[in-house]
Structure 1
Amino acid sequence: MKNLLFLLLLSAAVFGQGARESFYDMNAFSFTSPGAMKYGLYGFDNPALLATVTAPDLMVNWTTFKKKWDDVRRVGVYTASPGFGFAVNDQKVFNNKVTDYRVSFGGGSAAYGFGFGYGWSNGDRDVFGRSSLWTLGILSRPSQYFSIGSVMYIPEKAETEASIDAAYRPFGNEKVSLFADAVFRKNAPDDLSKWSAGIAVEALPGFRVTGRYFEKKAFTVGVQLELGAAGFSSQSYFNTNSDYAFNSYGIRLGAYDRNLAEQFQKPEGYLYLKMSSGVKYQRYRLFDNANTLKELLENLEHAKNDPAIGGVVINTVDFYTNKVMYWEIREKLKEVKAAGKKVIVYLERASLDLYRFATVADEIYMEPLGSMTMEGYILGRSYLKGTLEKLGIGYDEWRFFKYKSAAEGLSRESMSEADREQRQALVDDWYDEVKGEITQARNLTGEKYDELVNKKVFFTAQEALDNKLIDKIARWDSLDAAIRENDGYFVSTAGLKGNKAPKDNRWGVKPNVAVIYAIGACAMDEGINARSLVNFVNKAVKDDNVKAIVLRVDSPGGDALASDYISEALLKAKGKKPVIVSQGSVAASGGYWLSMYADTIIAAPATITGSIGVIGGWFYNKNLLQDAGITLDHVKKGDHADLGFGFTFPLINFPLAQRNMNENERKMMETMITGFYKDFVNKVAKGRNSTYDKIHEVAQGRVWTGTDGLGLGLIDQLGGLELAINIAADKAGLKKGDYNVIEMPDAPLLDFGMFMPSLISTQVINVPLLKDARFRAQHNGKPLMMLPLDLAPDTDFDALMPE
């Protein structure tokens, strides 16, 4: 009889005029206070919790009296998706039955939530004291340790009831949660509990045990077993005399939860990466399937730590990126291998850079009709002096520093000795670096490698196999079948544990590390778009939740004003939060200016860095306008007012001054450029804690690889974007996994250009050589901190970022 009375209290409320279901009655299926574990009852107990729901989920619960499986007294169905919840509770006592419905809405963030719900009932409403009901809820999680919630229940025909709950996680994660709650209701019956307290322990991932004690000495003990997308639960209820009363059971389907079975799962999954869409820094949010560097590195990190993943399979058909990105991904794959995972790379047609990337694999497969080349490296450039003369365009190069060769292509017919020296050094470094990695990975001698490059060059699949450059010849479908025959299976990036894991392991808002991309020429309204980018830098500097900043630089330089805009904004963070620079394929000249104030500068071995120098030049009309039948006229006041006067060619937006500078004007420009250079060197010396003389010795426009830059003190460490993020977090005192990485600027929604017809003039302008010339013409007469674009022939800056 005592057991029956206890069941009535928890599931049917107190009968009689004015009686209604209490907080604990309504939430009889709860294992803890609403905010203490997972998502409670999906908004039924507190609608504010819907702000924390990240994926659709469904839970079905039922109670049985004593141990009679066929004596079901109550059934609850709870379903939720982000911001929305719906529940149905069916309850019967003897011959009376009532069905309650509740729809709930919630919003907010990981730190604060609010919500409301509306409930109604069908059946024996008067017997169970039911009426229409409004619920209002709030939730606060100011840190990873505390959760506080409150709900107000406003029934149509009974007293308002309010509850407050609090939970504390001593370790700041899901492992242990202590909780308590209290209910406030006017004229509440004396035999109703007004508070409860308890503990929830997740002893193993997906295995939870709960205990809850009520004011009237009743208590519950519960167990939850989660298996990923499904889960099972059971809770035993004991009355005020500690006698067993009844049990509830539950099944959950939908959202992924921590999986107890993963502890015993064989690592038979293979992460499948299709690289045909290339690699960018950011992509459009819609209709863009490209991989991003950050996501690739994160997914490989997840694969490394996922117990269900036994390896990574990479399909490189149509995969192309620059040397540095190849290297960064390759270095991450080394970590995956070191964790005991197998790496397989499939090749169809491979360049030397792609083959170097592939050699990280345990096994390299090649298409039977595939091929590869080992051609070595070359750096060359086109010279337009003769072309400009034939067109009737004059160009005056203002070069005052030995290695600053950015304008050679417009003023000379062949390389200067200084440019030849620095270019040969780059090529030598690239060749030696790739040679070292390939020979080590494929167990070749240095002599054999040189022989393959200098005497063979081209390889069919069979020749590559004969020379031990690959391991197997097979079509892609054969590789797919071989993995499946060995009980393996492919896993997409969405299927990785790290990507589908629930977010309830940490309360509150995580601190952020901001990754800011400065990609392309240093310009105010194109390239790095300094005029808008500086707003994101300032935002990151001022945002208290951004604990560290990583600036990823991939820029050949350009306008000093644009570079200074960003570097000065970053300087404001000095001493307030760490600023780390990650240099990509190119971070030279104005790109190095962007880097110089960082606490730490990271570069890849093949990064082109340095080029600390300033150059300028002047396009002017010789006879082009006359030959084209264009005449100009003007009035002026001021001896130099006509200096920039000229004609701008339509469609290509190429400005051409009417006259060259006179000797006096040119001397003034020389003074300006040399002054800029001294200022540049002084700023670098300040940023690098060095002296003017030491920086000048390695400056004068000289470009260096990242490897050389490390020895010269221009950078601090060899590495990529991931290392820069890890260093930034470490300097900010953030633990791994305890922060988010946010990206700036915001990625655009979609590429509207895909719906527009291509214009011939636009295609012509996008030819790198002409684009470089146009940029210089648009900055005619301005001191530029820029290196030739042809020094990074494998880097298309426009393709790395959505416009």
Structure 2
Amino acid sequence: MRLLALLLLPSLAVAQTGAIDRAQQPSRGVTLPPTGAALVDEATALSLNPAGLGYVGGSQLFYLHERNLVQDGVGDGVFLASRFLGLGAGLSMEWVRGRAQPDYRKTSLGLSLGSRTLQLGGAWHAFSSDDGDLDDLDTFDLGLTARPARALSLAAVVKDINAPHEGPYDLKRQYNFGLGVRPLDERYTLGVDWLFSEGAFRHGQATYTLNAEVIPGLRLGAGVSHGFVSGVPLTLQLAATVDTSGLGLTYAVGGTHDGTDHVVALRLSTESYRALRPPGGVVTLLDLNDELAGTSPLFAVLGASGTDPYLKLTRWLELAAKDERLSGVVLKMEGLPGVSWGKAEELRQAVLRLRASGKKVMAVLLSADDAGYFVASAADRIYAVPESMLPINGLAAHLNTIGGTFQKLGVQWDVARVGKYKSATEQLANTEPSEPWKEQVNAYLDTQTAWYEKGVAESRKQPPERLHQLWATGLATAKQAQELGFLDGIILPTELDKKVRELLPDAHFSTTYAPRDEREGRWGRRRRIAVVPVIGTIAGGRSREDPLGFSQIAGAETVVRALERAQSDPGVVAIVVRVDSGGGDVLASHLMYQAVMDAAKHKPVIASMGDVAGSGGYYAAMGAQEIFALAPTITGSIGVYYVKPALEGLLGEKLGVSQVSLTRGPLSDMFDTWRPWTPEEQKAAQAWVDASYDIFITEVAARRKLDKAKVDEIARGRVWSGQDAQARGLVDKLGGLPEALDAARTRAGVPRDEELDVVILGEARGFFSGLGGEPGVRAVLSLLPEPPPSLPEPLRALARSAGLNLELLQPGMKAMMPFTLTVQ
């Protein structure tokens, strides 16, 4: 038996074998390499099952050339597919020429819509030929593909729905039912199709397809087709495909008793396919400064802010550590915008995980302070350019007070607070920090300095005394840093390639590498872990950021809604609440806390803390079943306070403004910002704050399973490092976002070998997007009181320049850190 027609797209197998006269089956088109109705998901799906167009993620172009040497038949086809308005769209033109049949051109258009689990597609085919009857033909197809699970794909196709009849051409409807299974993983695919014409089910044709990825970039395919009654020929087809990222080449040969058929297919695509890997793997450059840069101010104003850049970076590093293609990373370091010591520790651990997975890491410093060098110290090698700025000079915290300034302006501050460490009045009213304030900051600095020295000593094999010598230089030159053992060399930019080759002699450098950027060949949808960010000052309304990046708001509406979405989504197996906030509004913090607890009743919820989880930020996190903090995370500040200014001295005495208040209650104007509180008003405000604080520590005691008196002892507004907070029971484990994701997987009972997607729900948006509310949550959060009018802009500008959190100057009940702790 001789080989012939490539077992065409299985759904058209009958029409594509040599036993079928092209003149009687013009809808056949060009023969395709081995595939099936449930398997096809490329541009060529337009010819077999238009639903497959919906699985094309980018843009594709296929060129196919077919030749049957015995019948002297020739076919050429060009297939295009792309995403269009969220739909899968396809266009193709096929030219079929044969000595015994009329020549014709087949033009096809198709669309598909749906999700990764279900796609519905339709196609229209028109014919052009010198044969007048054939020239008048056009046909329609309808296809459905369901991929409910990773190992299962189902398809149903109706071809030639309109059953056209022109002269000798009488096209009957054809039906194709396809089944695809992956018994092992994505490398091996089996397909079975049953194709039959209307009214001839028993006379149909069965097609069996096997596709296997032998190694990345090399795929083999085979197909067998036969019937169960006489007259249906047995056909066989074999194929091999070689893939590079954007280019693929397939050769297929098949046949039956009518002769041998050859098909060559060329693929061009914007999607990256699994490719033949160069010896030594891939090395890429990761510019941390670029990766951490936020959305442009213009996009932020228009509400186009995207996922937090730091969360995107951590996800990149996690995927890169698991990517077998990657052999090395060059870290370009020129500042770490938005990164304090908590995130620096998390990035350092990510670099160590890269190395533990077998990757080589080289850090190139253009500039680096202590936090930047702490991250770089985890690399295999550290280099600097000759003129690098290296202000590696030890840790420092600056405690600003502007009480003297407000005194000169005639502004007084009314504050009700709990705990000697909740030092809101000190920053606003004192002329110098108190001893309790300095005590907690000094304790944090001691803990973080010890952690810093330990990390650098372990990575660079240098004793702390050497690091102290580096600190003593104030602003070290690259040569000094190298002489002290903290650099492996000084290089010019032109020498970078040479240093990479020394570290990885056989590696191939790629500027376009991205982890898991290959075409998604997985069926169904992965189960997911949802990350819900609580980033910035906590307030009511939507999460948002200002256009210039000065502030970011964690809006209770957005956070609550995101938690509800994650809770109700059956594909989400667990939730990680990512907290990087010093707190804010008490009621908004409490609503987040309640939403976290409600979600934890249905799914595992883990809290992950970044640079800071203070006061209201800790409040929101403690509803989780398990809390992770990094050793340097600023944690705690458990407490509340109420603050308001008295502006009579400024507005009345200095600016000549007068105010007369007409009241109908003894305390009806206690929240007015004109005059200071009376003793009765101070007492009422303090009682309110005491009650709120009591609720706070009661909830902490209940959630953390601690004695309430013990909680009060470690609360009182005090700030702790994550390491010290763990020792006192406020935190369960030390670790970053990857550790929190692992804990979420474990609590959800997901096997270690199952791939999970990580999705971020509730990202901050731009300025205009924050002007409205969130549907479905507005009613709940309408209980939030309207805040009093903002302070005059001159006072806000003054506070911003002095390093104050502007929310501190907004009157109201706060569960937030009363000062911004910046350690440099």
> Is TM > 0.5 for Structure 1 vs Structure 2?
yes
Shift of 1:560: 0.9
Shift of 1:278: 5.8
For the pair 1:89 / 2:94, whether they are aligned, the reply is yes
Provide Cα deviations, 1:692-728, integer angstroms capped at 9, x if missing partner.
Answer: 2332232222211111112222112211122222322
Q: What residue in structure 1 maps to residue 58 of structure 2?
A: 55
For the pair 1:745 / 2:756, whether they are aligned, the reply is no
Q: Conserved in 2, the CA contact under 8 Å of 1:439 and 1:445?
A: yes
For the pair 1:418 / 2:436, whether they are aligned, the reply is yes
Please list, as runs of the form range in 1=range in 2, the aligned pairs for 1:188-203 lying within 5 A after superposition: 193-203=204-214
Letter aligned with residue 50 of structure 1: L
Q: Conserved in 2, the CA contact under 8 Å of 1:573 and 1:579?
A: yes
Shift of 1:630: 0.4
Q: Distance in 2 between matches of 1:5 and 1:299?
A: 45
Q: Distance in 1 between matches of 2:492 and 2:516?
A: 30
Q: What residue in structure 1 maps to residue 741 of structure 2?
A: 725
Q: Conserved in 1, the CA contact under 8 Å of 2:42 and 2:55?
A: yes
Q: What residue in structure 1 maps to residue 415 of structure 2?
A: 397
For the pair 1:73 / 2:74, whether they are aligned, the reply is yes
Partner SS for 1:252: strand
Letter aligned with residue 797 of structure 2: I
Please list, as runs of the form range in 1=range in 2, the aligned pairs for 1:333-352 lying within 5 A after superposition: 333-352=351-370
Q: Distance in 2 between matches of 1:9 and 1:376?
A: 77
Q: What residue in structure 1 maps to residue 287 of structure 2?
A: 274
- One of 815, 820, 824 as aligned partner of 1:785: 815
Q: What residue in structure 1 maps to residue 666 of structure 2?
A: 639
Shift of 1:562: 0.9
Shift in alpha-carbon separation, 1:120–1:373, aligned structure 2, 3 A? same
Shift in alpha-carbon separation, 1:5–1:268, aligned structure 2, 3 A? closer
Partner SS for 1:64: strand
- One of 495, 520, 527 as aligned partner of 1:511: 527
Q: What residue in structure 2 maps to residue 549 of structure 1?
A: 575
Q: Conserved in 2, the CA contact under 8 Å of 1:51 and 1:108?
A: yes
Provide Cα deviations, 1:400-423, integer angstroms capped at 9, x if missing partner.
Answer: 313222332123222222222211
Please list, as runs of the form range in 1=range in 2, the aligned pairs for 1:179-218 lying within 5 A after superposition: 179-186=191-198, 193-205=204-216, 206-215=218-227, 216=232, 218=234
Q: Conserved in 1, the CA contact under 8 Å of 2:205 and 2:225?
A: no
Provide Cα deviations, 1:616-647, integer angstroms capped at 9, x if missing partner.
Answer: 334214522222100012322112222233xx
Provide Cα deviations, 1:339-390, integer angstroms capped at 9, x if missing partner.
Answer: 3322111112321111222112222221212232232222231222222222
Shift in alpha-carbon separation, 1:677–1:552, aligned structure 2, 3 A? same
For the pair 1:246 / 2:247, whether they are aligned, the reply is no
Q: What residue in structure 1 maps to residue 616 of structure 2?
A: 590
Partner SS for 1:420: helix
Q: Conserved in 2, the CA contact under 8 Å of 1:37 and 1:200?
A: no
- One of 249, 261, 270 as aligned partner of 2:276: 261
Partner SS for 2:148: coil
Q: Distance in 2 between matches of 1:87 and 1:762?
A: 65
Letter aligned with residue 671 of structure 2: G
Partner SS for 2:124: strand
Q: What residue in structure 2 maps to residue 799 of structure 1?
A: none
Q: Conserved in 2, the CA contact under 8 Å of 1:375 and 1:457?
A: yes
Q: Conserved in 1, the CA contact under 8 Å of 2:389 and 2:477?
A: yes
Q: Conserved in 1, the CA contact under 8 Å of 2:576 and 2:608?
A: yes
Shift in alpha-carbon separation, 1:36–1:488, aligned structure 2, 3 A? closer
Shift of 1:502: 1.4
Q: What residue in structure 2 maps to residue 163 of structure 1?
A: 175
Q: What residue in structure 2 maps to residue 140 of structure 1?
A: 146
Please list, as runs of the form range in 1=range in 2, the aligned pairs for 1:456-495 lying within 5 A after superposition: 456-480=473-497, 482-483=499-500, 489-492=508-511, 494-495=512-513
Q: What residue in structure 1 maps to residue 782 of structure 2?
A: none
Between stretches 591-600 and 135-144, larger displacement belongs to: 135-144
For the pair 1:775 / 2:781, whether they are aligned, the reply is no
Provide Cα deviations, 1:479-523, integer angstroms capped at 9, x if missing partner.
Answer: 24654796755323x424x3331111x212222221111111122
Partner SS for 1:75: strand
Letter aligned with residue 125 of structure 2: G
Provide Cα deviations, 1:274-305, integer angstroms capped at 9, x if missing partner.
Answer: 23336268886999899822332333344434
Q: Conserved in 2, the CA contact under 8 Å of 1:115 and 1:136?
A: yes
Letter aligned with residue 608 of structure 1: I
Q: What residue in structure 2 maps to residue 651 of structure 1?
A: none
Q: What residue in structure 2 maps to residue 224 of structure 1?
A: 240
Shift of 1:394: 1.4
Shift of 1:555: 0.9
Q: Conserved in 2, the CA contact under 8 Å of 1:368 and 1:474?
A: yes
Q: Conserved in 1, the CA contact under 8 Å of 2:638 and 2:716?
A: yes
Q: Distance in 2 between matches of 1:189 and 1:547?
A: 43
Shift in alpha-carbon separation, 1:443–1:290, aligned structure 2, 3 A? farther
Q: What residue in structure 2 maps to residue 800 of structure 1?
A: none
Q: Distance in 2 between matches of 1:677 and 1:187?
A: 78
Shift of 1:5: 11
Between stretches 428-437 and 114-123, larger displacement belongs to: 114-123
Partner SS for 1:164: strand
Q: What residue in structure 2 maps to residue 602 of structure 1?
A: 628
Shift of 1:58: 2.4
Between stretches 592-601 and 102-111, larger displacement belongs to: 102-111
Partner SS for 1:326: helix
Q: Conserved in 1, the CA contact under 8 Å of 2:417 and 2:689?
A: no
Shift of 1:559: 1.4
Q: With the length of structure 2 as denominator, give the TM-score of the two structures.
A: 0.84
Q: With the length of structure 1 as denominator, give the TM-score of the two structures.
A: 0.86
Q: What residue in structure 2 maps to residue 363 of structure 1?
A: 381
Q: Conserved in 2, the CA contact under 8 Å of 1:34 and 1:41?
A: no
Provide Cα deviations, 1:131-179, integer angstroms capped at 9, x if missing partner.
Answer: 2112222222222232222222234324552423332424473233332
Provide Cα deviations, 1:13-61, integer angstroms capped at 9, x if missing partner.
Answer: 75599x4347xx4573151212225537232211111111012222233
Q: What residue in structure 2 maps to residue 353 of structure 1?
A: 371
Provide Cα deviations, 1:544-567, integer angstroms capped at 9, x if missing partner.
Answer: 222221111111112110101111
Shift of 1:595: 0.5
Unpaired segments of 5 or more residues in structure 2? 8-13, 545-552, 771-791
Shift of 1:593: 0.2
Q: Distance in 2 between matches of 1:601 and 1:169?
A: 41
Q: Conserved in 2, the CA contact under 8 Å of 1:324 and 1:584?
A: yes
Q: Conserved in 1, the CA contact under 8 Å of 2:401 and 2:431?
A: yes
Provide Cα deviations, 1:639-679, integer angstroms capped at 9, x if missing partner.
Answer: 2222233xxxxxxxxxxx22222222222222222221221
Partner SS for 1:324: helix
Q: Distance in 1 between matches of 2:226 and 2:769?
A: 60
Q: What residue in structure 2 maps to residue 676 of structure 1?
A: 692
Shift in alpha-carbon separation, 1:402–1:762, aligned structure 2, 3 A? closer
For the pair 1:765 / 2:797, whether they are aligned, the reply is yes
Partner SS for 1:425: helix
Q: Conserved in 2, the CA contact under 8 Å of 1:143 and 1:509?
A: yes
Partner SS for 1:790: coil
For the pair 1:377 / 2:395, whether they are aligned, the reply is yes
Partner SS for 1:499: coil
Letter aligned with residue 204 of structure 1: I
For the pair 1:101 / 2:107, whether they are aligned, the reply is yes
Q: What residue in structure 2 maps to residue 500 of structure 1?
A: 517
Q: Conserved in 2, the CA contact under 8 Å of 1:275 and 1:291?
A: no
Q: Distance in 1 between matches of 2:406 and 2:201?
A: 97
Shift in alpha-carbon separation, 1:747–1:776, aligned structure 2, 3 A? closer
Partner SS for 2:390: strand
Shift in alpha-carbon separation, 1:280–1:577, aligned structure 2, 3 A? farther
- One of 39, 43, 47 as aligned partner of 2:46: 43
